[in-house]
Amino acid sequence: MLSRIAWKNIWRNKLRSGIIITSISLGLFGGVFAIAFMNGMANQMINDLINLELANIQLHNPQFLLNDETIYTIENPEKKIERIKKIEQVKSVSSRTVRMGMASSSSTGKGVRINGINPEIEKQTTELSDKIIEGSFLEDERKNQIVVGEKLVKELKLKLNSKVILTLQTIDNNITYAAFRITGIFKTQNTMFDESNVFVRDKELKEIVHLRENRTNEIVVALSDNDFTKQVKSKLINEFEKEIHNEKLIVRTWDEINPSVKMIQQMSLQFSFIFVIIILVALSFGITNTMLMVVMERVRELGMLMAVGMNKIKLAGMIFFETLYLSLTGAFAGMIISVGAISIAAKTGIDLSPIAEGFNAYGYSSIIYPEIDTAFYFYVMFFVVITAFLASVYPARKALKFNPAEAVRTEA
């Protein structure tokens, strides 16, 4: 009964309730949408990192990680790859030879990570080949082809089919040069990646640096779903227990390789909660104010209720329910608008290219697809209930202080 009265009471002053409901719904919509936006941005960064650069899990010689020295290799990669492929959730496995070096044109040079890959297998492991904007991804049989990022091409003032000179050391520490022809240009959302990575055939790179055939620096494991990452990692640790124990191998997940991206995601999640709380605190003042007006307006009625025997708990409960319903109505409206707007924006994307230059340098995409966990809506609702409770405390206390004798005397 109390909650029914409370619900009906909301609609006594439709304009006033409408205003506060509208401000709650718009405030929450703004907050939730901004959070979905940030979340979409962070997720995209993670997806790009996994799909274009790292895949889900990588294996290295632990020494290699310390100083990027190509000489620290994984032995017999083929056999290991066969063992890895037996794990159910593994989609594809590739291996890379990695050498740091310098890419130069006639005008300038730039330090790069030279990745020796097997293009057919690499295509199944990462989606970098989809990001080719000119040329192809080491497709035909011509010798000494190189695929470079658009950013690097511009910096070196080169174009498709230009020659680029790689300067690098062999593993026996002799400086060597090799001429490559640019046959493919890629562009990802991460310009830092684009300017510092080049891709050549694994066999050719091995020849240049004098690395033996059955060695590699990096085994890259792509999974059918990123959710399996932890699980597969522990399977790999079991599988290669001996090698890991002898410090010949280390298994790392994408977020261990690049913790900053994961951190950005977690930070944006924490920030989301702070953001929602700030919005709710701001709204709670409006809600409190509305409820105070309600209480002051109903002095006689509340006095009458106390006089006829409604106790303080019930009276406070009635005011709390009214505050709660007011807030939840606004919150529901806000959530419905949010769900609608986010699902539309998730399909169409929000194009930030006019202002996206700076974004790309940090690996953020210029088209953002906002997304949000359904659970988040429930968190918001939970916070709204708490807010309503806190916002009702002061008006309820005010009402409880009424002396029924005074209240019923108050003139119309």
Residues interacting with other proteins, by CB under 8 A? 1, 5, 8-9, 11-12, 300-301, 304-312, 314, 403-405, 408-409, 412
The token pair at 350 is: 């929000």
- φ/ψ of 370, rounded to 5, equals -60, 140
- Smallest distance from the beta carbon of 20 to other proteins, in angstroms? 18
Taking the least distance from each CB to other proteins, the nearer of 2 and 277 is 2
Taking the least distance from each CB to other proteins, the nearer of 244 and 310 is 310
Taking the least distance from each CB to other proteins, the nearer of 249 and 399 is 399
Taking the least distance from each CB to other proteins, the nearer of 11 and 382 is 11
Taking the least distance from each CB to other proteins, the nearer of 10 and 36 is 10
Burial class (CB in 10 A: 0-12, 13-18, 19+), 383: middle
Q: What SS3 class is residue 167?
A: strand
Q: Is the CB of residue 264 less than 8 Å from the CB of residue 284?
A: no
Closest CA to 182 of 169, 196, 165: 165
The whole-angstrom separation of Cα 388 and Cα 291 is 10
The whole-angstrom separation of Cα 382 and Cα 82 is 50
Q: Is the CB of residue 24 less than 8 Å from the CB of residue 327?
A: yes
Instruction: Quickly count: other Cβ atoms within 10 Å of residue 17's Cβ.
Output: 20
- Smallest distance from the beta carbon of 308 to other proteins, in angstroms? 5
- Smallest distance from the beta carbon of 314 to other proteins, in angstroms? 7
The whole-angstrom separation of Cα 281 and Cα 177 is 64
Q: How many CA atoms lie within 13 A of 310 on its CB side?
A: 18
Instruction: Quickly count: other Cβ atoms within 10 Å of residue 66's Cβ.
Output: 9
- Smallest distance from the beta carbon of 291 to other proteins, in angstroms? 16
Taking the least distance from each CB to other proteins, the nearer of 9 and 290 is 9
- Biggest CA pair distance of the chain: 102
- Smallest distance from the beta carbon of 47 to other proteins, in angstroms? 52
- Smallest distance from the beta carbon of 10 to other proteins, in angstroms? 9
The whole-angstrom separation of Cα 158 and Cα 345 is 38
Taking the least distance from each CB to other proteins, the nearer of 154 and 409 is 409
- Smallest distance from the beta carbon of 409 to other proteins, in angstroms? 7
